[in-house]
Amino acid sequence: MTKTRAILRAIFGIHHHHNDVARHSTTTRSVMMRVTLDAQHVTPLRRALTRDCAGQPWTIRIATLPHTERVQLSLYLPKDAVNGAIQQVTRIAPAAQFGHLFEIPDTPTDGWRDLLRATSWAQAASALRPARTHVKPGDDSVDTLDQLLSVSNVLLDTELADRAALFAQLGACCETRYGVPAQQVIDGLNTREALGSTGLGQGVAVPHSQIAGLLTPVVLYVRPRVPLDFDAPDAKPVTDVIALLVPEGANTMHLNLLADVAQRFCDQHFRERLHACASATEVCRLFSSTGEASEIPALMPYPAARTGAPGARLRA
């Protein structure tokens, strides 16, 4: 558990503060943290957080895990309250497990909400259903970014004037390598973008769509030579684009890939290492190494029904 606390502090740059300082340093919810623990610990933890977060906006949401005595909590906290929350969790429930962590933009876009929805659903499904031992070819299955990202799909220092030029580049790549008309890809990405920006903040954008006629999921990483305006929630231009294209109707695959993006790109250390990669080979190697060493719970290891589950709908 000590290692877990150290990892969380490293991700968010959290240090010890006196309570009075923490209470006045921020008034916004800026971090969401998921914790799984025994149900008996919820009440004392809620009381402790109510006391520690007095005067600050915070929320606790509880999801029961059927056939167990454990629950999953989603805590929405000011960033400066996270350190104290971690201490309270480990004091009250030493066997608690920490899950996904997100630094929430002040004005989250629909792209950010897509990630939140995807990780919430994929993690819950993974916890509640047994893994399949065999997946038939063509099923809506378990592909991850490191499995799908190839050297030929990594475009570094690309000359792009704007978002339209980016989508044109992605469409051209798909037409050349996967036989899907470029305009179909462009239209799919634009349709999704019209619902709300897929810029996430911190220089990251995740344009995504389901494409009719596409036979295999496609992941492309693009690093523009000049950062692109993407209407991101923090108004920062985009330096990292991770594009996700999946076959039409592959809802589970779509969700799993978005959850994978969240696991990696919400980690500042990962983003810094990615920026240090000087070649496509190094980028792919980084994705593979972080996939193997992930501290965050695994994605859903089985295909779900294509009709989806409540809350699993994506804007695509």
> pLDDT (tens digit, 9 = 90+) per residue, 83-103?
888 889 989 998 888 766 666
CA 157 distance to own-chain centroid? 24
pLDDT, the chain, mean: 75
**So what's the pLDDT on residue 285?**
94
> Taking the domain 2-103, which CATH number applies?
3.30.70.120
In sequence order, the 6+-apart residues with CB closer than 8 A to the CB of 108 are: 116, 233
Separation between Cα atoms, residue 116 and residue 223, nearest integer Å = 24
Sheet containing 59-64: give its strands across: 59-64, 70-77, 31-38, 97-103
19 vs 261, residue with greater confidence: 261
Q: What is the largest CA-CA distance in the chain?
A: 60
151 vs 83, residue with greater confidence: 151
The residue ranges of every structural domain in the chain are: 2-103, 110-292
61 vs 174, residue with greater confidence: 174
Least confident of 87-91, 149-153, 218-222: 87-91
**So what's the pLDDT on residue 101?**
65
- Over residues 56-91, the pLDDT tens digits come to 888 888 877 777 888 888 888 887 888 888 889 989
User: Is 208 noted as a catalytic residue in this protein?
Assistant: yes
Of 298, 312, 299, the C-alpha closest to 251 is: 312
**So what's the pLDDT on residue 34?**
79
User: Which of 41, 100, 208, 254 is labelled catalytic?
Assistant: 208
Least confident of 181-185, 225-229, 297-301: 297-301
Write down the pTM of the prediction.
Answer: 0.59
> Taking the domain 110-292, which CATH number applies?
3.40.930.10
At which residue do the structure tokens 């994705």 appear? 287
What share of the chain in percent tops pLDDT 90? 33
Mean pLDDT to the nearest integer, 139-148:
71
Check whether 48 has a pLDDT greater than 70: yes
CB 264 within 8 A of CB 143: no
Mean pLDDT to the nearest integer, 128-149:
57
